[in-house]
Amino acid sequence: MWKIILILLLLFIKETQTKSIHDTIYQDIGGFTGMQLLNKNGDYGGTSGFDPLYGELYLIEEESDFEKLINDPPSKKLVLVLNAEFFSFSKYLDRLPNKITIAGVILLPGNKPGTGYSPEMTYPLKASSLHPESDYEWNSIGNGDLYKKYFFPILTFPLQGNFQFIKDMAKQNKRDLEFFEPRNGAVFDIFMQANEDSETCLRRKTCVPIGGQSVWGFIGGEYNKSKEYIMITTPLDTRSSFPYLSPGSEFPSSGIVALLSAIDGIISFANSNNATEFYSSLKRQIMFGFWDGESFGHIGSLKFINDVKYFDCKEWNDSSHSSCNQPFRYSMAFKDLDLSKLTEIIEPNQVGLYTGNPNNTYQSQLYTHYEKENFQSLVLAEKIMMVSINSLKIMNLSTVEYPSPHTPGIPPSSSESFVRKIKSDLPVVVLTDYPSQFSNAFYSSVFDDIFNIETQQIAGAASLLLRTVYMEATGCNPEEIPENLAVNETFIRDLMFCFSFTYYCQYFVDILGIPFNVPSSNYPGLFSDTNVPIRSKFLHDFITYLTLVQKSSEFPSCKSGYDCNSSENCIVGKCYPRIVYFHPSYSNNVEYDYKQKEYKVVESYFPDDLWVESDWKKIQIQVYQGNSKNVDILVFCVGIFLILLDCFMIKFFKLF
């Protein structure tokens, strides 16, 4: 019996020692990885394969390092450690010869590519645009890296991340090695299970639809079915080579913050007067919409329009039919909308970069994009210009110009869905900071960060939007717009910090109680009926709070949603009535089978590319310190010598 116990004890000690040695050699590193995404046409992005990939750290700091790698490639597998300016598949990585085996790529935050970098196409969302046949290049520097497949993983870090030690380890390898100097490497264990295309992986249950939650409602909280309404709207998401690190400062954050600031301005103006009387006196109501998933074929706006027109509830939640269990809709308020009463749309979209007169940086410059053959859109653009001209006498507002005559019409935007699917002659103006091609040199990339925008430019756009919407809703003339109708530039600056850098900021903490530092990301993520993205939850709760805070004493207190009834939300300790709504955002070509607990591909009135994200078993990236080949040979020789010495000693002692 004691022999068995001794054997088990020795095995336990061996396992413990092995784990201890492994943990000493290998060090887990954080960061954000590129994910494998798929649509109907194929799969894109990278994966480590079923087995982990090991490689030696190879630092590229200068152009000469890259040329040396091409001309004198090492024979070992490599993990490329790149300074930010060298991250481009089309310009750099695609040039590497086949004999170089890449185990992974680590992108170090730092200086951005000097000539810009956008991994999107030159005409983003072209298939779901109003001009699918156009050859125009809105995103002139787009290289399409997002739509490439590569057989190695990529990793990066947020600006506030701890990555310097990795660069130091790679620098060790870069120096001329001395005899006993170790070789440092990394191992990537990131096996993405999905392959082929989205329909195949959904059938195999190895992927989940991309999506989130759109946020919509009416300023003031109530929808009057007898009134016409205007819509102010903007996309809520973006993407990058590292989906969960998509700061999107210029796109979409500048548009989100401009729209939210205009909403705040109208609500503040109403609350400073008689809010009930103000909202009831409007000739046209004001609807707002923040559409999630727009970077994946306008799925947020198209889902909303599809549901308003065709939604069929298979299982109601209660007898009042206020919500639906299958397919899940937490509110059926969208079915009350009369789309024929929508009279116009104004959309702020990429309004954070200054492109005006370099000698006049105190005045922002905006452009009114509209459909060239739509006369009513031109009229709306002229009205916006009149608001700008009249308001310049009062405050430092944006100057407005027409876009370049060479553009096909409105640029990639959520408004396109409403023109395509509701009314082709619907008046639409998209406000931007560019006259023709995007001024954003980092569209849909990890480099579109908070340092890429100017708060004053966004404030100008928000002020112009606010005053235009007031004019259109009340029916007043431009000169009759109140002088005290304005936005708060400090509010805008703080919100940009929240949406572009970290959710651990004043407004998100006050409204949502964010307990720790969470880097901002505008990627929709994996769709779930029950999980609401942080940015969507904030918009929903914040607009509700702005609207009803003056009446907070009238509502019961709460600690969580369980303390409120089904038509209320617990926001900042109060059960506020539901006046702002979530709407699920995912492909119209997929439905969830609640009995089989799986997604199924279906036909749709509004077909799209059906974007999904691959499942994974685990994501683990580690760095390690390994011996050089010389040391390995030395250890081997010493081992052989010791074995021979042992044999000699045994033989020697047996003789004596």
Low-confidence winner among 52-61, 144-153, 386-395 (lowest mean pLDDT): 386-395
Q: Are residues 121 and 219 in the same domain?
A: no
In a domain, 208, yes or no: no
Taking each helix axis from N to C end, the angle separating 375-391 and 455-474, rounded to the nearest 10 degrees, works out to 110
pLDDT confidence bin for 177, thresholds 50/70/90: low
In a domain, 645, yes or no: no
pLDDT confidence bin for 195, thresholds 50/70/90: confident
Q: Are residues 182 and 219 in the same domain?
A: no
The average confidence (pLDDT) of the chain is 87
Q: Are residues 126 and 249 in the same domain?
A: no
Q: What is the pLDDT of residue 13?
A: 46
pLDDT in tens, 468-492: 999 999 999 999 999 889 899 999 9
Q: Is the pLDDT confidence value at 404 over 90?
A: yes
Q: What is the pLDDT of residue 199?
A: 93
Q: What is the pLDDT of residue 630?
A: 63
DSSP string, 577-626: E--EEEEEES-TTEEEETTTTEEEE---SS-----EEE-EEEEEEEEEEE
More confident residue, 97 or 130: 130
Q: Are residues 187 and 79 in the same domain?
A: yes
Q: What is the pLDDT of residue 384?
A: 95
In a domain, 613, yes or no: no
In a domain, 17, yes or no: no
Q: Are residues 181 and 218 in the same domain?
A: no
Q: What is the pLDDT of residue 46?
A: 82
Q: What is the pLDDT of residue 640?
A: 80
pLDDT in tens, 561-590: 899 988 899 999 999 999 999 999 999 999
pLDDT in tens, 406-450: 999 999 999 999 999 999 999 999 999 999 999 999 999 989 988
Residue 644 structure tokens: 């021979």
More confident residue, 471 or 551: 471
Q: What is the pLDDT of residue 516?
A: 76
Residue 441 structure tokens: 């040199």
Q: What is the pLDDT of residue 118?
A: 94
Q: Are residues 218 and 331 in the same domain?
A: yes
Distance CA 612, CA 601 (A): 12
Q: Are residues 179 and 289 in the same domain?
A: no
Low-confidence winner among 97-106, 114-123, 260-269, 379-388 (lowest mean pLDDT): 97-106
Q: What is the pLDDT of residue 20?
A: 45
Closest CA to 345 of 373, 366, 376: 376
Low-confidence winner among 143-147, 180-184, 364-368, 531-535 (lowest mean pLDDT): 180-184
Average pLDDT over residues 114-136: 94
Q: Is the pLDDT confidence value at 358 over 60?
A: no
Closest CA to 239 of 448, 58, 479: 448
Name the range with the highest mean pLDDT among 94-98, 526-530, 573-577: 573-577
- 252: domain CATH number is 3.40.630.10
Q: What is the pLDDT of residue 631?
A: 61
Residue 186 structure tokens: 């990394």
Residue 645 structure tokens: 């010495």
In a domain, 519, yes or no: yes
DSSP string, 150-200: -SS-EEE--TTS--HHHHHHHHHHHSPP-TTPPEEEEEEEEEE---S-HHH
Q: Are residues 541 and 634 in the same domain?
A: no
Residue 434 structure tokens: 């560019």
pLDDT confidence bin for 528, thresholds 50/70/90: confident
In a domain, 147, yes or no: no
Q: Degrees (nearest 5) of the Cα angle 553, 540, 610? A: 160
Dihedral sign (CA 541, 544, 547, 551): negative
Q: Degrees (nearest 5) of the Cα angle 20, 24, 28? A: 110
Three-state secondary-structure class, residue 650: helix
**Residue 550: DSSP 8-state:** G
Give the range of the structural domain holding residue 222, as residue numbers without chain letter. 213-586
Q: Is the pLDDT confidence value at 218 over 90?
A: yes
Dihedral sign (CA 235, 237, 241, 247): positive
Q: Are residues 167 and 240 in the same domain?
A: no
Q: Are residues 126 and 217 in the same domain?
A: no
Low-confidence winner among 147-151, 169-173, 358-362, 366-370 (lowest mean pLDDT): 358-362
Q: Are residues 258 and 174 in the same domain?
A: no
Low-confidence winner among 23-27, 170-174, 283-287, 300-304 (lowest mean pLDDT): 23-27
In a domain, 654, yes or no: no
pLDDT in tens, 273-296: 888 899 999 999 999 999 999 999
Average pLDDT over residues 69-90: 84
Query: Is this prediction's pTM over 0.85?
Result: yes
Number of structural domains found in the chain: 2
As a whole-number percent, the residues of the chain with pLDDT over 70 amount to 89
pLDDT in tens, 334-344: 999 999 999 99
In 449-597, which residue ranges form alpha helices assigned H by DSSP?
Answer: 455-474, 489-500, 506-512, 534-548
Q: Which helix (H) or strand (E) element contains residue 300?
A: helix 299-310
Low-confidence winner among 12-16, 298-302, 414-418, 518-522 (lowest mean pLDDT): 12-16
Q: Are residues 182 and 257 in the same domain?
A: no
pLDDT confidence bin for 16, thresholds 50/70/90: very low
Q: What is the pLDDT of residue 222?
A: 87
Distance CA 317, CA 565 (A): 14
In a domain, 349, yes or no: yes
Average pLDDT over residues 55-74: 87
Q: What is the pLDDT of residue 357?
A: 56
Q: Look up residue 216 and give its amino acid.
A: W
